[in-house]
Amino acid sequence: MSTPEFIEDASAQDIARWLEQRLSAALSEADGDIAITLPGGSTPFPILEELCRSPLDWSRIAVWPGDDRLVPEDHEASNTGRIRALLEPAGARIVPLAEGAEPPHFAVSWLGMGADGHIASLFPNTDPDPAATKPVIRLTPDPLPPEAPFDRISLTIPALVDCDALMFVIRGGDKRAVFDAAIAGEHDLPVARLLKAARAPVTCFT
């Protein structure tokens, strides 16, 4: 496990600036395109709006959702649809998740975490395997979250940790307690399994 670095009380601008620096460095070092995976939910979008104002060469950046709800892209619950609407006009290439896809090595894997310790759509009931052989799977959370009661598709732990940098944005004391307990080895929730498998540096913004 990589010991996470915490950046406390980070604003959307702070996080966007960190991402810009990471992605700019990755673009400078790469001969071709780079890739990033992004979470869904409401937290990423103010940060991504800030990031869109940066001078990144988005035409060289492939954007993969870390997970999605199995709904059409024009549905309000579609992570891919929201990401596409924001980042495709900037020039990014958006890659919807599909079974059988082969995700690349990511310059940055950005993850959120639920209060139940889930990451991407790897909920506790799905018993995610840190050594999963498939990089993308379909699954059904149980119970279904009332705000998004849909089947899911998700990157698995090996795909998510195949990266140069792993980052979290953790808002709220309840989630921070779950995250801290994962670092301390006090539970075996999905976030703990992912952190244990991580080899890249981990940065957590609060």
Asked if 8 contacts 202 with a C-beta cutoff of 8 angstroms, the reply is: no
| pTM attached to this predicted model | 0.95
pLDDT at res. 1 = 74
Joined tokens for residue 35? 């890739």
For 18, the enclosing helix (H) or strand (E) is helix 12-29
Asked if 92 contacts 36 with a C-beta cutoff of 8 angstroms, the reply is: no
Amino acid at 66: G
- Residue-wise pLDDT for 18-41, tens only, equals 999 999 999 999 999 999 999 988
Catalogue all structural domains in the chain, each as residue range(s) with its CATH number.
5-205 (3.40.50.1360)
Q: Give residue 2's pLDDT band: very low, low, confident or very high (50, 70, 90).
A: confident
- Residue-wise pLDDT for 117-170, tens only, equals 999 999 999 999 999 999 999 999 888 888 889 999 999 999 999 999 999 999
Closest CA to 24 of 48, 46, 57: 57
